[in-house]
Structure 1
């Protein structure tokens, strides 16, 4: 893996890790809201979509 690819890989892994913690935090808040917060559901949906994009990008770099 080139230095540039390695740097991008580490950036994506860091972003993915941070996003995972944000998703957990939002899920916890959603549970506290008795699963009734549409805003939190929307945020989680967007973060999960972004997480999937990051995972695809990581997999492309590894190939």
Structure 2
């Protein structure tokens, strides 16, 4: 059975490069979460709460 370390040697990739690449991939996931997902979720929650308040106040006026 071929192990990951054997695949890295066959592909002529050093373990340092593979480790660095993996770290950078995970770091980019966190950066995407901070830059895209969290602000978008915050905006959607804000809009949803305001819409709920608008609907509640509109039903009281009727």
TM-score by length of 1: 0.46
TM-score by length of 2: 0.47
Structure number with bigger Rg: 2
Name the structure, 1 or 2, with higher relative contact order (CA <8 Å, separation 6+): 1
